Amino acid sequence: MSNINMKLIIIVTFVCLSVKCNAISLDYYYAASDFYRPGNGSEEDLKQVLSFVEPTKVRINLFYEVFCPHCRSFVTETFSPVLEKLGRYLDIYTYPYGNANTVKKDNKIYFTCQHGPTECYGNKLHACALDIVKSNTQALKYNICMMKYSNSNQGSDDDAADKCGKALLIDSTPIKKCAKGIRGTELLKYCGEESKKANFKHVPHILINGVKNDGTHFMRDVCAAFAETPTECQDILSIN
């Protein structure tokens, strides 16, 4: 093995350890190795390899409730395009709870939600989707779909769960079962605990790398949060 390839492996290993291997894969290594020829490696070659490393991910925390009009418009019109364009560069954590309350009585857990019991159930559907669907991106798309105004009733109900499951090839049956059972209660209780820690007064409550954001220029603000700007953001940040 050439010295330059040994250096490459060391650097790839270091990057994996420092970012938990989220930012680079063996596909990048094999693609990068095409630049090398035995005995002709250079430091410039290593710089080319490092150009394959994706930017450090930006963390998004979103606290919402499923029937809140502002939450629905933000999630479906503003958050959704950011997920589509930049999802691969983001660590996204969503908490469907909002201004609900958790009450423990007679060793049982109950919830009261701002828009009534049907919203509590809708919040549970969202929490269960995040728990059950293996791909976080697909789970987020599923929940976005359930919040669209094109759904019958208010959305985020069994009909929306089935409709969005069919559109995204996601089995809605275990999600609905979860929302109606103990697991759904446990998940919503957890969302409530995290929401109380965030100590917000209004939803949607949005954090970009831990900093509160009003969502007005969400795409631009997410792009500006990267230490190294991804290609997808360059045109956005170039607009004054």
Residue 230 domain flag: no
Whether residues 45 and 109 share a domain: the answer is: no
Q: What was the pLDDT predicted at 43? A: 55
Q: What was the pLDDT predicted at 152? A: 83
Whether residues 46 and 93 share a domain: the answer is: no
**For 204-213, what is each residue's pLDDT tens digit?**
999 999 999 9
- By residue range, what is the domain housing residue 44? 3-50
Q: How many domains does the chain have?
A: 2
Residue 236 domain flag: no
Whether residues 35 and 110 share a domain: the answer is: no
Q: What was the pLDDT predicted at 145? A: 98
Whether residues 138 and 33 share a domain: the answer is: no
Low-confidence ranges of the chain (pLDDT < 70): 1-54, 240
Residue 12 domain flag: yes
Residue 122 domain flag: yes
Residue 231 domain flag: no
Question: Using CA atoms, how far apart are residues 99 and 118, in angstroms rounded to an integer?
Answer: 14
**For 84-139, what is each residue's pLDDT tens digit?**
999 999 999 999 999 999 999 998 999 999 999 999 999 999 999 999 999 999 99
Query: And the tokens for 57?
Result: 């991910």
Whether residues 32 and 63 share a domain: the answer is: no
Backbone angles phi, psi at 74, to 5 degrees: -65, -50
Which H, E and C letters describe the chain, residue by residue? CCHHHHHHHHHHHHHHHHHCCCCCCHHHHHHHHCCCCCCCCCHHHHHHHHCCCCCCCEEEEEEECCCCHHHHHHHHHHHHHHHHHHHHHEEEEEEECCCCEEEEECCEEEEECCCCHHHHHHHHHHHHHHHHCCCHHHHHHHHHHHHCCCCCCCCCCHHHHHHHHHHHCCCCHHHHHHHHCHHHHHHHHHHHHHHHHHCCCCCCEEEECCEEECCCCHHHHHHHCCCCCCHHHHHHHCCC
Whether residues 109 and 181 share a domain: the answer is: yes
Please name the residues in contact with 32: beta carbons below 8 A apart, sequence gap of 6 or more.
8, 48, 49, 52
Whether residues 21 and 90 share a domain: the answer is: no
